[in-house]
Amino acid sequence: MNSIQLPLNENTVLSLKVGDPVSLSGIMVTGRDAVHKWLVETFIKQTRPANNDDLAIYAAIQPLLVGGVIYHCGPVVSGMETRDYRFVAAGPTTSSREEPYQGDVMKHFKVMGVIGKGGMGPQTLAACQEVPGLYLHAIGGAATIIAQTVTRVLDVYKLDFGVPEAMWVIEVSDFPAVVTMDAHSDSLHTVIENKSKAVLEKLLALP
């Protein structure tokens, strides 16, 4: 098990390879569908104008994202009424939906780690090589166990997107994941997809 303190750095990222289990401690930011679309449209492709609120959030999150980790997660959060937020359940969501955005977000902010489930495609893999960065696979559905690694909720942005879609800034201790896409162009997901495709072809040929 590789114990890793966040933020990441180039040496750490380059030293890790597909199959390596990691245990992460430090600060990470959740972000999923609405956040990725908003980041790309507002700050990267700039197809919609940024208002003052957008710019204030950008200033707050940008330092967290340099060498930082984005976690594809829509948590269950308690304490909504008192703003004494606690993560109750916080497993990963399916990452492939962020494929159209992820590479651009990684390159723009120099995000070095993306956590999710199910893996991602060629654009993200290319960004992992360029930035460099890693795709870290958490165990889908293991929401109670993962929530217990979240020691504090430090902040929340874009709560207007709703609880699951907001950007939650969290501090974690020993967050478990496995590297499934690395900075050396290797992806476990491509390997499994191709292998299973070959088996499928054989099965489809049977009566």
Binding site for another protein (CB under 8 A): 19, 21, 34, 73-78, 88-91, 93-94, 96, 117-119, 137, 139-145, 147-148, 161-165, 176, 178, 180, 188-189, 191-193, 195-197, 199-200, 203-204, 207
Cis peptide before 132 (omega within 30 of 0): yes
Shorter beta-carbon distance to another protein: residue 126 or 142: 142
Q: Length of the chain, please?
A: 207
Shorter beta-carbon distance to another protein: residue 131 or 138: 138
Q: Smallest gap, in angstroms, from Cβ of residue 16 to another protein?
A: 15
> What's the CA gap between 152 and 148, in Å, rounded?
10
Shorter beta-carbon distance to another protein: residue 56 or 191: 191
Contact 159, 206 (CB under 8 A): no
Shorter beta-carbon distance to another protein: residue 15 or 144: 144
Helical pair 99-109 and 122-130, crossing angle rounded to 10 deg: 10
Q: How buried is residue 190: exposed, middle or buried, by Cβ count under 10 Å (0-12/13-18/19+)?
A: middle
Q: Smallest gap, in angstroms, from Cβ of residue 165 to another protein?
A: 7
Q: Smallest gap, in angstroms, from Cβ of residue 34 to another protein?
A: 7
> What's the CA gap between 135 and 129, in Å, rounded?
11
Q: Smallest gap, in angstroms, from Cβ of residue 95 to another protein?
A: 9
